[in-house]
Structure 1
Amino acid sequence: MNTEHEYFISVDVETSGPIPGICSLLSIGACVIGHPIEHFYIELQPLNLHYDPEALAVTGFNLHTQIIRGIAPEEAMEQFGHWISSVTSTRVKPIFVGFNAVFDWSFINYYFHVYLGHNPFGFTAVDIKSLYMGVTGCHWQETKSSHIDTRFNIKNPGSHNALDDALYQAEMFMKIRENI
């Protein structure tokens, strides 16, 4: 799966809403595609108490609880950046992989730039939904995870826990790639 110069990392986030900086990144889950034992999970303190009720309901997080148990965003991004470095090398480019990657990548990119000054993924991201469209020739509305699960017999459904969902996405990505 991972070539000499590319290393695919499945990333999922849970947030308090749709807009980085206004809404908060609450958790990050990631795993190396093809090596799920190499994984990362962290919960963050919210930036503020702004939230979209529907988004927060999906996550199951309570912002007041996250203030206490979450890690400060700068420390969380340092830990995530260190983990990315630990599973890659200077010769390998980490490639961000996500299901609806534009959403997850926007938060990761924002937080990395604000707190570390750079994003280890750069501008590299693979969207699983788009990959699936390209492989199957299906329409956008057919890129729902339930359609992909059925087609490839994926047994590990997402749960809105960032690590569980990153592992689920990794399995989905691998099965789609096997059909290219």
Structure 2
Amino acid sequence: MVAALSESDDRFRSAPTTTDAYFSADIETDGPIPGTYSLLSFALVYAGSFDGKRFLRPSGYHKTFYREMQPISNNFQPEALQVNGLDRNALCVRGMDPQRAMSEANEWISNVAGNARPVLVAYPVSFDWAWLYWYFVQFTKEGSPFGYSRCFDLKTAMAVKARIPISEASRSKLPSRLSSSRAHTHNALDDAIEQAEIFANVFEWEGR
């Protein structure tokens, strides 16, 4: 058992052969789960890279992707629309077809990542991942550009670095030095940029 653990440790200590390209993601929906409800808008923002030794924060958050989409069902929760402020009836008419939107997102991620491997970032990642993974698999022949598990949960990272329980690691409790100066607007693009800044701050922070 000790030998097996030692071999595993050696594998992690070896020089990385790949680089992660991080994409901050934010979504706005009309309900709690994909399929039954609809993803109405989503944004992706290039948030930096890490090769195992050096994290590179982008000089600015200019590499962005944003789409608003047509609903895929008649189900919706009014309270969800009150939060995001999106006009669901208007999106039924002018929203982009999900197949086109997700295919364009897949291509954009590939172009921005280049030879690096895309990693989805969110705070927390569970909700955004579930929706985006389902939509990529459902509406594109390529499937998810993040594979089935390449994601970075900012809430977990914060809990580990701050040495606090997950239940205490909410974004609302972030110390000012790790927060973003941007407002949280519930516009997917605004919030994805805000989150990208928080991600870089937390990633670079040595913790306590």
Please state which band the TM-score falls in when normalised by the shorter chain: over 0.9
Q: Which amino acid aligns with 1:16?
A: D
State TM-score, norm by structure 2. Answer: 0.80
SS in structure 1 of the partner of residue 174 of structure 2: helix
SS in structure 1 of the partner of residue 185 of structure 2: coil
Please name the residue that 2:139 is paired with.
Answer: 115
SS in structure 1 of the partner of residue 62 of structure 2: strand
Q: Which runs of 5+ in 1 are unaligned?
A: none
Alpha-carbon RMSD across the aligned residues, in angstroms, is: 1.6
Q: Could you give the per-residue CA deviations for residues 65-90 of structure 1, whole angstroms, max 9, x where no partner exists? A: 1111210000000111111011012x
1:140 Cα shift?
2.6
State TM-score, norm by structure 1. Answer: 0.92
Tell me, in whole angstroms, the C-alpha distance in 2 between the residues paired with 1:146 and 1:156.
Answer: 13
SS in structure 1 of the partner of residue 86 of structure 2: coil
Select which of 106, 124, 133 maps to 1:81: 106
Select which of 106, 122, 125 maps to 2:130: 106
Q: Which runs of 5+ in 2 are unaligned?
A: 1-16, 48-56
Tell me, in whole angstroms, the C-alpha distance in 1 between the residues paired with 2:161 and 2:112.
Answer: 28
Larger-gyration structure (1/2): 2
Are the aligned partners of 1:148 and 1:172 in contact in 2 as well (CA < 8 Å)?
A: no
Tell me, in whole angstroms, the C-alpha distance in 2 between the residues paired with 1:64 and 1:82.
Answer: 28
1:143 Cα shift?
1.9
Please name the residue that 1:6 is paired with.
Answer: 20
How many matched pairs?
177
Please name the residue that 1:95 is paired with.
Answer: 119
1:157 Cα shift?
2.6
Q: Could you give the per-residue CA deviations for residues 157-177 of structure 1, whole angstroms, max 9, x where no partner exists? A: 321111111101111111111
More relative contact order in 1 or in 2 (CA 8 Å, sep 6+)?
1
Are the aligned partners of 1:29 and 1:42 in contact in 2 as well (CA < 8 Å)?
A: yes
Q: CA separation of 1:149/1:155 partners in 2, compared to 1, >3 Å: closer, same or farther? A: farther
Are the aligned partners of 1:10 and 1:170 in contact in 2 as well (CA < 8 Å)?
A: yes
Q: Could you give the per-residue CA deviations for residues 128-167 of structure 1, whole angstroms, max 9, x where no partner exists? A: 1111001101223322222115352521132111111110
Q: Which amino acid aligns with 1:166?
A: A
SS in structure 1 of the partner of residue 63 of structure 2: strand
Deviates further, 52-61 or 71-80: 52-61
Are the aligned partners of 1:149 and 1:155 in contact in 2 as well (CA < 8 Å)?
A: no
Are the aligned partners of 2:45 and 2:193 in contact in 1 as well (CA < 8 Å)?
A: yes
Percent of paired sites with the same residue = 34
Please name the residue that 1:15 is paired with.
Answer: 29
Q: CA separation of 1:68/1:129 partners in 2, compared to 1, >3 Å: closer, same or farther? A: same
Matched, 1:46 2:60: no
